């Protein structure tokens, strides 16, 4: 894996404006996606992980708006790029696989038309050639007899096959970055395993860098090279996957890991995280996890902890966690 960053997000802020206040859905997020790696972004619903990814492609729905930060890709800041230039990047250089394929696929267009669309938009190519390449990419993502399925409509495909179609649509133009937003949601365990194996092959065969959004830590453990843990619109921990699972340094990360059932723990109950995430329109002055944290100190109530190094390539945003990593501190 190269250490050259292909996508760099710096101090990204995406807020949602309404009469009841401003929801800071993404509040100062910084991430780097390296060439050929899979970066997992995890957190509870409402943590800001999906909005972060939608911000990368400037697809945040109203009343959401990017109010600050940079999204650097191929020496350009996507946050400031004119829409005409941005359309040349979406679907070609950066593609996205959305959560729900049934609502993302057009029920009135054949699968062949939808998979070929990115080529027809971005390349000077005939419809016949685009459909030939659509057949080829459908075969690569594991659609049986793809030539006979090009004229089928989405409702003729199972949930797992529709997800493969979505992945084919995202890959057909050979993007440099693939964003996958909860790619196994609503799929049964067997189909999930097939889809995850497909992502492993994508990274190996296509050399694509993958930004993987999920709440499933098992998926992260099996696919991601590094992990960013998000809570209340911020990254609270950022580390290589193995290090994160072995030495979690933020209480929220530790709580997430304790809430996951483990193989062999027969009769053991998982530990749910107490309380609820804070209202993004009324964030507390200090650490957003303060009310749910079993380790909090008085400082945590008043001061927001910075995302600071706790080990090589391992960052955490926690006064208590950071202090514990210092030599001589128990």
Residue pair 207/201 in contact by the 8 Å Cβ criterion: no
DSSP state of 61: P
How many Å apart are CA 97 and CA 223, to the nearest integer? 16
DSSP state of 90: B
pLDDT, position 202: 85
pLDDT, position 100: 76
Cα separation of the two ends of the chain: 35
pLDDT, position 330: 39
How many Å apart are CA 124 and CA 130, to the nearest integer? 10
Q: Is 139 helix (H, G, I), strand (E, B) or coil?
A: helix
Ranges under pLDDT 50 in the chain: 1, 325-330
- Tokens, residue 140: 């690569």
pLDDT, position 263: 62
pLDDT digits (tens, 9 = 90+) for 174-190: 999 999 998 887 677 87
How many Å apart are CA 162 and CA 70, to the nearest integer? 34
Residue 292 φ then ψ, to 5°: -105, -5
pLDDT, position 108: 94
- Tokens, residue 274: 């107490």
Which runs of E-coded beta strand occur in the chain? 5-18, 21-34, 38-42, 64-73, 76-77, 94-97, 177-181, 209-214, 226-231, 234-240, 308-311, 314-316
Q: Is 3 helix (H, G, I), strand (E, B) or coil?
A: coil
pLDDT, position 328: 40
pLDDT, position 259: 84
What does pTM read for this prediction?
Answer: 0.91
Domains with residue ranges and CATH for the chain: 5-93+175-249 (3.40.50.300)
pLDDT, position 291: 93
């Amino acid at each position: 894996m190269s250490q050259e960053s292909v996508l760099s997000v710096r101090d990204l802020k995406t807020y949602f404006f309404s009469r009841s206040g401003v929801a800071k859905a993404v509040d100062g997020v910084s991430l780097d996606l390296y060439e050929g790696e899979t970066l997992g972004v995890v957190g509870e619903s409402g943590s800001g992980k999906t909005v972060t990814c939608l911000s990368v492609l400037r697809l945040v729905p109203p009343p959401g708006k990017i109010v600050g930060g940079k999204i650097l890709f191929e020496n350009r800041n996507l946050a400031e790029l004119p829409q005409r230039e941005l359309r040349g990047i979406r679907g070609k250089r950066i593609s996205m696989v959305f959560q729900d394929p049934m609502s993302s696929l057009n029920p009135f267009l054949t699968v062949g038309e939808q998979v070929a669309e990115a080529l027809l938009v971005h390349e000077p190519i005939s419809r016949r050639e685009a459909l030939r390449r659509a057949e080829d990419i459908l075969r690569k993502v594991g659609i049986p007899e793809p030539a006979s399925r090009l004229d089928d409509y989405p409702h003729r495909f199972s949930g797992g096959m529709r997800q493969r179609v979505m992945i084919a649509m995202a890959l057909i133009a050979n993007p440099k970055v693939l964003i996958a937003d909860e790619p196994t949601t609503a799929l049964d365990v067997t189909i999930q395993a097939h889809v995850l194996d497909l992502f492993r092959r994508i990274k190996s065969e296509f050399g694509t860098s993958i930004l993987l959004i999920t709440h499933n830590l098992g998926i992260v453990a099996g696919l991601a090279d590094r992990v960013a843990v998000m809570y209340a619109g911020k990254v609270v921990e950022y580390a290589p996957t193995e290090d994160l699972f072995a030495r979690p340094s933020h209480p929220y990360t530790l709580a997430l890991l304790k809430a996951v059932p483990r193989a062999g723990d027969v009769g053991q109950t998982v530990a749910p995280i107490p309380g609820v995430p804070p209202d993004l329109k009324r964030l507390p002055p200090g650490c957003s996890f303060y009310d749910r944290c079993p380790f909090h100190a008085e400082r945590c109530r008043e001061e927001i902890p910075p995302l600071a190094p706790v080990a090589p390539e391992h960052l955490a945003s926690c006064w208590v966690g950071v202090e514990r990593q210092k030599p001589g501190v128990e």
